[in-house]
Amino acid sequence: MDKLSHLDENGSVRMVDIGDKPVSRRVAVAEAVLVVGQEIMSAIEEGRTPKGNVYETARLAGIMAAKRTSELIPLTHQVPLDHVGIELESGADRIRIIATASTRAATGVEMEALAAASVAGLTLYDMLKALSKTMTLTGLRLLAKSGGRSGDYQSGALSQ
Amino acid sequence: MDKLSHLDENGSVRMVDIGDKPVSRRVAVAEAVLVVGQEIMSAIEEGRTPKGNVYETARLAGIMAAKRTSELIPLTHQVPLDHVGIELESGADRIRIIATASTRAATGVEMEALAAASVAGLTLYDMLKALSKTMTLTGLRLLAKSGGRSGDYQSGALSQ
Amino acid sequence: MDKLSHLDENGSVRMVDIGDKPVSRRVAVAEAVLVVGQEIMSAIEEGRTPKGNVYETARLAGIMAAKRTSELIPLTHQVPLDHVGIELESGADRIRIIATASTRAATGVEMEALAAASVAGLTLYDMLKALSKTMTLTGLRLLAKSGGRSGDYQSGALSQ
Amino acid sequence: MDKLSHLDENGSVRMVDIGDKPVSRRVAVAEAVLVVGQEIMSAIEEGRTPKGNVYETARLAGIMAAKRTSELIPLTHQVPLDHVGIELESGADRIRIIATASTRAATGVEMEALAAASVAGLTLYDMLKALSKTMTLTGLRLLAKSGGRSGDYQSGALSQ
Amino acid sequence: MDKLSHLDENGSVRMVDIGDKPVSRRVAVAEAVLVVGQEIMSAIEEGRTPKGNVYETARLAGIMAAKRTSELIPLTHQVPLDHVGIELESGADRIRIIATASTRAATGVEMEALAAASVAGLTLYDMLKALSKTMTLTGLRLLAKSGGRSGDYQSGALSQ
Amino acid sequence: MDKLSHLDENGSVRMVDIGDKPVSRRVAVAEAVLVVGQEIMSAIEEGRTPKGNVYETARLAGIMAAKRTSELIPLTHQVPLDHVGIELESGADRIRIIATASTRAATGVEMEALAAASVAGLTLYDMLKALSKTMTLTGLRLLAKSGGRSGDYQSGALSQ
């Protein structure tokens, strides 16, 4: 039987006990991409659609969501974040969201980075949805993590 | 200049005033897909990896997140939901998440359905992440909505 | 198979769809009893232990918890409460907590009343725990409810 | 004895029962002023200190706080807001914050407007505090309210 | 005058200052019992009423509530939990809930364990309430605690 | 260009990275004044208007708000507070609120102290608003801070 850390020997849900894990510096980077279409991106980049406050609202929403990850994802621990950063890159038909979370704690912050990227993406969607109903948030995944017992990880995409 | 409902004439963020909109029944359906890989899906479907509690935890997390959408997405309204439903379908290498939200309110519940699908997907990720770090949540989008001034909407995917 | 409203035909958790239920006035009354022991109750009643602010803190905590029931109990609906009342009655060795919740909504407020009584009781416990570690919160139950399709209910205890 | 609506006949705290009050349109407007000093305001207005994102962050924080007023002010009711608006006006040495909240509900939204103005002001303070530790948030008060049994109200300041 | 740690010399509520207390490992165990009746318990144990998802939902709700104890019980501190565990034991007419909370912090986690047991019990109640309105949550109390200045504690019940 | 710690080199909002800052003891003291008028203050001081529970409710609200500052002020860090204290002083026509927050953390608690004073003041306003609509919360500011890289600070008002 494969072992899932969030299920105990009876298959019941559980919170992993991190009481024996030392506090260490941990960083996680996650990515998501909101595909909005070329027309909207042109409008944004040419200034016909305002960009600044759309992007800033998404950034703030992502940062605020990261701080509340333990309320959203049931079996995560409460982690005091040292930093949350949200970068937004405009592409031809898409906006790339890169979220970084870091802490000094006894558990990692992958879910915090993923939650930040996800909520930043949803907020971009909300801000732009008057223009299109066919936007899609795609490619939400972990790009890299460092610190902790399980060692460092880097996705192929990032290491290229 | 294209008009974004969440920005005012000066480009400042604003919450849309729904004071003149009547209360009506509104439904939204959103979808997301967690690509987990064939090996993990085989293990889940053959019972080597427990399925029930992983899926139920995701369902509960999605339902609970939908109720708190107005705390996550800055410019959304507080909407009392009549129902949130989360369906999970196992595919060959992926889990499809379909979230439905409904209300009787003066504004739509697209963001509630999207938030539910997104947090259900993130929770699946959290539950399964001991098995893989390369999972990706993809295709988070609106499938359909009904009710409200802007009329009904159905994505091509759903209407097929 | 007995039917649980919070499980669907496959046994998966679900939020009950209240979209077809009319809005009506609903009230629920719940009770809990904190057994603190005769000595502490004598001290409280004779004024050797301050009573006012202990009781008021419990009252406020119960009222505030009732408003957030939908965040605590996973499958409950968000219900805007018209009123929450917390009565505290001193007995020989115990404090009786009676919580009333009322709303105009499409679903009942039993869980709101129970959550209010429970958190008021836990707060009394927290306020008094410097005096005793053997307090017990007991008898948390529904005393009465009115409104809604399932009709009125009154526990034997209340109707006596 | 003067009557405070939030205390019962025994002087205990209580939530006002609004079960008999009809739902009606209600609006409240509140104001606060952050005194930041002439130097900082000159820097902001001349563009030496960035203005846009400081102001937008405050606006978003005020809007989000208004939606959560019932979690902050213990005896307030949960009120679904139709609209929250935050205007920011630059003065010679100060930033004026005007917050408007509106609803269709059985109780007023004064506290929502005041909470929005207050948190928007605190957020401006947080954004600018690297420049000065002597800023003061002042003049937080109700400018006007309409709707509800107690009739309309307009402060002298507004009616001038 | 007996001293309550949550009241100051004037009898006003206060948060205990833990600034001088060292961080140490602390564990607390709390118990509650939901009396549901023999009929319902037979149905659950014989599989006529589904058990798994009812119990898992309660477990998740208890874990999530423990993480938010400082929002529910007014004078508690924010404590980052290393672990929350919820065990559920089926009896002839009742379900026993045992909640364990642990941390490395400057204050104990009794209230976290009690909140977890209480909310897990309320969630069981909510899941089963279609079957019975006469269930009672009883015997919510501290079973044991260890760590911290006040030393270890074990209730008679546990030490037997 | 003046540097705001909450904006990056592009002027986008950011959370300050405190990952390199050591954990140290930090204290902040903030003040606010609710001007309520001589008549109301006389009524309060002469006991015609109840004082105890009005003040205690404000105290509790301030303490609870301090613990949730990171949810209210977007770019603040989550800080586990060792202590929050709220003092209330009755003046001839006003109530002075002094809020103290302390922690052992890598960042300061000015915003926590300010949020506590602000929400305590708003709660006083809410409790007393049946008596007057012209109350004003004024003079919300930092009185003192100690600990951290930027050194101690004391406002003129406090040092007098």
pLDDT band, residue F160 (cuts 50/70/90):
very low
A2 or A118: which leads in pLDDT: A118
The pLDDT, as a whole number, for residue B138 is 98
Helix (H, G, I), strand (E, B) or coil at E89: strand
**Residue owning tokens 């909109």:** B21
Most E-contacting residue of C1, C3, C5, C6 (CB-CB within 10 A), to test interface: C6
Query: In the predicted model, what is the mean pLDDT of chain D?
Result: 93
pLDDT band, residue A160 (cuts 50/70/90):
very low
Closest listed residue to residue B155, CA positions, set A36, A122, A134: A134
- Whole-angstrom distance, CA of residue B27 vs CA of residue B98: 13
Per-residue pLDDT of chain B (160 residues; tens, 9 = 90+): 557 899 998 889 999 999 999 999 999 999 999 999 999 999 898 888 888 999 999 999 999 999 999 999 999 999 999 999 999 999 999 999 999 999 999 999 999 999 999 999 999 999 999 999 899 999 999 999 999 877 788 887 654 4
With 60 as the cut, is the pLDDT of residue C1 above it?
Answer: no
List the single residue in F68, F78, F82 with the smallest CB-CB distance to E71. Answer: F68
- pLDDT tens digits, B77-96: 999 999 999 999 999 999 99
Torsions phi, psi for D84 (to 5 deg): -135, 130
Region E103-131: what's the mean pLDDT? 97
Closest-CA distance, D100 to chain A, in angstroms, reads 20
Strand boundaries in D67-135, DSSP class E: 81-90, 94-105
ipTM score of complex: 0.95
Tell me if D2 and F131 make a contact (CB, 8 A cut-off): yes
The pLDDT, as a whole number, for residue C11 is 87
F3 or A146: which leads in pLDDT: A146
E75: chain F residues, CB-CB within 8 Å:
60, 63
Locate F26 and state its tokens.
């930090």
CA dist D48 → A76, F4, F11, F79 (Å): 42, 11, 11, 32
List the single residue in D5, D49, D110 with the smallest CB-CB distance to F2. Answer: D49
Which domains occur in chain A, in start order? 27-146 (3.30.70.640)
The pLDDT, as a whole number, for residue A133 is 86
Query: In the predicted model, what is the mean pLDDT of chain E?
Result: 93
Region A31-35: what's the mean pLDDT? 98
Helices (H), D38-154: 38-45, 52-67, 69-72, 110-128
Interface check A98 vs B, CB under 8 A: no
- The model carries a pTM of 0.96
* Residues of A with catalytic function: 126
F153 or B71: which leads in pLDDT: B71
- pLDDT tens digits, D58-102: 999 999 999 999 999 999 999 999 999 999 999 999 999 999 999
Tell me if A63 and F70 make a contact (CB, 8 A cut-off): no
The pLDDT, as a whole number, for residue A10 is 86
Torsions phi, psi for F42 (to 5 deg): -60, -45
C125 or E46: which leads in pLDDT: C125
Query: In the predicted model, what is the mean pLDDT of chain A?
Result: 93
D111 or F11: which leads in pLDDT: D111
Region F79-88: what's the mean pLDDT? 98
Closest listed residue to residue C71, CA positions, set C35, C103, C34, C111: C111
E140 or C48: which leads in pLDDT: E140
Closest-CA distance, E60 to chain B, in angstroms, reads 8
Q: In percent, how much of chain E has pLDDT > 70?
A: 96
Most F-contacting residue of C54, C56, C68, C71 (CB-CB within 10 A), to test interface: C56
With 50 as the cut, is the pLDDT of residue D159 above it?
Answer: no
Query: In the predicted model, what is the mean pLDDT of chain C?
Result: 93
Region E76-81: what's the mean pLDDT? 98
E60: chain B residues, CB-CB within 8 Å:
57, 60
The pLDDT, as a whole number, for residue F159 is 46
With 90 as the cut, is the pLDDT of residue C61 above it?
Answer: yes
Whether the CB-CB separation of C106 and C23 falls below 8 Å is answered with yes
Tell me if F75 and D134 make a contact (CB, 8 A cut-off): no
Whether the CB-CB separation of E21 and E107 falls below 8 Å is answered with yes
List the single residue in B13, B80, B106 with the smallest CB-CB distance to D82. Answer: B106
Helix (H, G, I), strand (E, B) or coil at C96: strand
Tell me if F83 and E17 make a contact (CB, 8 A cut-off): yes
Closest listed residue to residue B28, CA positions, set B143, B149, B158: B143
The lowest-confidence range among B23-27, D130-134, F83-87 is: D130-134
The pLDDT, as a whole number, for residue C157 is 62
